[in-house]
């Protein structure tokens, strides 16, 4: 599970606030019940004092601790039964004075017996989806609303059928997302603008994040932002590599619109290093680009282009600009 540090921090804050809120509400409810039913308050006071009096009883009565503990436990159980009976007569449940945590399993701590609780993983998934939406505006992107009717269902000049070809890519992307693992291949989606590359890559991201049987960290970044983040970190001379680690360590990295970033020696090196490191670490990457094979080679060096074209699954998108068709 390699979510961003922001996702982990947000999940921790949410669980802490849930726990504090449950405890605050319990204290308020307890105060109301004590004010209305003083006998219940007296029993709770009796129970809280019993252990404090243990050492005094041992010294004063010169008896072994086991026998005193036995008597005290019996008295405490009797007091608890009286309390439960009083609460029942008032129409209240036996645990009404205890904090009502959102997660009964871990009491909103996120862990039980040192193991991450399912509630923590669920909050992480939710926050990761929010992060994805904020960074990409992906709220409208899903497999359900990917419309294949915008692709012509006839033979193109090169002999392909755009609708049939895109249907195959659509099915491939669904299967890829549903069966995603760290052994999944990297993908490069190539084709001119407006053919659905971003829509399908974000649909994959949302499906992978939402997987309840696994916990995968997904980072989406337009190429311009990715390069800007790495450049700012590199030239800050702070010694930090947090941004680089964010992009290298996530389980799935999506680089959108590769080639739209400002070209420079730093850009070429940064993209090349990132791609090489993720391939070396066997972490899947999805790249979408409007560049042709020739343009990709000229822009990022033959070595980097060779790594992408040779080791990534290539999807060659076809058709007409969907944005144009929608506004026709």
Residues 123, 3: Cα–Cα separation, whole Å: 12
CB atoms within 10 A of CB 207: 18
User: Cβ contacts of residue 56 below 8 Å, gap of 6+?
Assistant: none
Per-residue pLDDT at 61 exceeds 60: no
Q: For residue 108, what are the contacts with CB-CB under 8 A and spacing of at least 6?
A: 15, 16, 18, 19, 22, 101, 102, 119
Q: In the prediction, which pLDDT does 306 show?
A: 93
Q: Which residues of 119-146 are buried (b: 16+ CB within 10 A; e: fewer)?
A: bbbebbbbbbbebbbebbebeebebeeb
- What's the confidence (pLDDT) of residue 54? 60
State the pTM of this model: 0.80
Q: What are phi and psi of 327, to 5 degrees?
A: -100, 5
> In the chain, what are the domain boundaries?
5-115, 137-326
137-326, what's its fold? Rossmann fold (3.40.50)
pLDDT at 68 over 80: no
Arithmetic mean of pLDDT, 259-272:
91
Question: Quick one: CA dihedral 4, 246, 211, 288, positive or negative?
Answer: positive
- Give residue-wise pLDDT tens across range 152-203: 887 666 667 889 999 999 999 999 999 999 999 999 999 999 999 999 999 9
Average pLDDT score over residue span 79-85: 80
Q: What's the confidence (pLDDT) of residue 230?
A: 92
Nearest by Cα to 252 from 158, 173, 154: 173
Q: What is the mean pLDDT of the segment spanning 44-52?
A: 72
């Amino acid at each position: 599970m390699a979510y961003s540090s922001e996702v982990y921090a947000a999940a921790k804050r949410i669980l802490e606030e849930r726990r504090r809120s449950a405890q605050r509400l319990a204290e308020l409810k307890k105060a109301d019940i004590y004010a209305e039913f003083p006998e219940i308050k007296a029993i709770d006071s009796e129970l809280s004092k019993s252990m404090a009096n243990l050492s005094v009883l041992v010294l004063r009565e010169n008896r072994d601790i086991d026998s005193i503990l036995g008597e005290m436990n019996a008295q405490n159980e009797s007091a608890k039964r009286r309390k439960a009976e009083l609460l029942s007569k008032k129409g209240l449940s036996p645990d009404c004075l205890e904090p009502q945590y959102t997660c009964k399993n871990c009491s909103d701590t996120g862990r039980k017996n040192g193991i991450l609780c399912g509630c923590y993983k669920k909050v992480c998934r939710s926050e990761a989806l929010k992060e994805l939406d904020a960074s990409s505006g992906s709220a409208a992107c899903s497999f359900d609303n990917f419309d294949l009717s915008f692709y012509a269902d006839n033979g193109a000049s090169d002999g392909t059928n755009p609708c049939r070809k895109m249907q195959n890519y659509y099915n491939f992307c669904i299967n890829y997302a549903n069966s995603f693992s760290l052994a999944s291949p990297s993908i490069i989606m190539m084709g001119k603008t407006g053919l659905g590359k971003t829509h399908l890559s974000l649909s994959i991201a949302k499906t992978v994040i939402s997987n309840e049987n696994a916990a995968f960290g997904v980072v989406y970044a337009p190429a311009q932002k990715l390069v800007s983040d790495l450049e700012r970190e590199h030239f800050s001379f702070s010694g930090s590599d947090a941004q680089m680690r964010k992009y290298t360590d996530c389980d799935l990295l999506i680089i959108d619109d590769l080639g739209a970033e400002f070209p420079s020696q730093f850009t070429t090196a940064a993209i090349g290093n990132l791609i090489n490191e993720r391939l070396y670490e066997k972490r899947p990457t999805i790249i979408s680009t409007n560049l042709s094979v020739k343009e990709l080679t000229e822009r990022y060096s033959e070595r980097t282009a060779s790594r992408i074209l040779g080791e990534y699954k290539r999807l060659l998108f076809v058709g007409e600009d969907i944005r144009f068709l929608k506004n026709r």
